[in-house]
Amino acid sequence: MASFSNFHFIIGIILLVNIVQGTGGEIVFEEGYTVSTVIDGDKLHINPYSVFSLYGSSSDLIILDSVKSTFYTVSFSDSQVSEMELSGNGVAGYKDGDLGSAMFNKPKSFALDRKNNIYIADKTNHVIRKITKSGVTTIAGGYVQKTGKADGPAQNASFSDDFELAFDPQRCALLISDHGNRLVRQLDLKPNDCSGSSSGSGVGSTTAWSIGVIVACIIGLIIGFAIRPYVLPHTGNNIRPGQHDMEALPNQSGETSGDLLLRHQKRNC
């Protein structure tokens, strides 16, 4: 019995040591980062709750003022800040249609796709909305408009009164973190919305594409050189003098025709 309570005592000490270590945990300062203010909400009369940068632009932001249920486009350059009401008219409500007259009910989360369409977790209305250049629509929850966790055709789906959205370009979907239901859900978007006309999406694939083209061209050149001795003796008589050496001849800009071919193929591919 005595050894049993000793055992408890030792466990207790270990726990205590862990707690003390936990509260005094290690902190690592990584230097080299900078913070600056780019937009002063008080000057613009915007209270930014959530913000995203437009794809393909280094100076345009979409800002959601949740208190006013309104989305703004804000452009900023070195010293100029210009603000434009994008949608929502300062009054909480539920109305689709024109950008100017549409209403949202104090949303807090939104996401942008590669086309800069905006998806809104309009959780108080229990729906997901979409803003495009041509107006505002409801894309999910429209038939239900109350809490639930039904999946299925998006207009028949229902959500809790607390959920957030993230755009997932790999799945071409919105991921929904449905806090109220403790679920991660997925709303499939239209492939067109993910095709990525703007920058961003293309970066990784462009690199892979270029590497593929270069490898293909190098293989092509190697094969070309390898079979040249077998091809040239037979066709040599038909070639104008010097032509068979064209691959190695630099042109005026110093490129060999092989380089030109590579460049040409890269451009064409």
Residues 22-51 that bind ligand NAG (CB under 6 A): none
Is 137 one of the binding residues for ligand NAG (CB under 6 A)?
Answer: no
Pairing of strands 118-122, 109-112: antiparallel
Sign of CA dihedral 194, 197, 199, 201: positive
Is 149 one of the binding residues for ligand NAG (CB under 6 A)?
Answer: no
- Binding ligand NAG (rule: CB under 6 A), the pick from 41, 60, 143, 260 is 143
- Binding ligand NAG (rule: CB under 6 A), the pick from 32, 153, 191, 229 is 153
- Nearest distance from residue 148's CB to ligand NAG, in Å? 12
- Nearest distance from residue 152's CB to ligand NAG, in Å? 5
Residues 164-223 that bind ligand NAG (CB under 6 A): none
Asked if 216 contacts 224 with a C-beta cutoff of 8 angstroms, the reply is no
DSSP structure class, residue 162: S
Amino acid identity of residue 164, one-letter, is E
What is the rounded CA–CA span in Å between residue 17 and residue 15?
5
- If the CB atoms of residues 49 and 143 are measured against ligand NAG, the closer one turns out to be 143
Q: Which residue has the closest beta carbon to ligand NAG?
A: 156
- If the CB atoms of residues 24 and 152 are measured against ligand NAG, the closer one turns out to be 152
Nearest alpha carbon to residue 49 among 35, 59, 62: 62
What is the rounded CA–CA span in Å between residue 142 and residue 128?
8
Pairing of strands 60-65, 70-76: antiparallel
Residues 84-103 that bind ligand NAG (CB under 6 A): none
Asked if 46 contacts 84 with a C-beta cutoff of 8 angstroms, the reply is no
- If the CB atoms of residues 52 and 143 are measured against ligand NAG, the closer one turns out to be 143
- Binding ligand NAG (rule: CB under 6 A), the pick from 152, 204, 242, 254 is 152
- Residues in touch with ligand NAG (CB under 6 A): 143, 152-153, 156
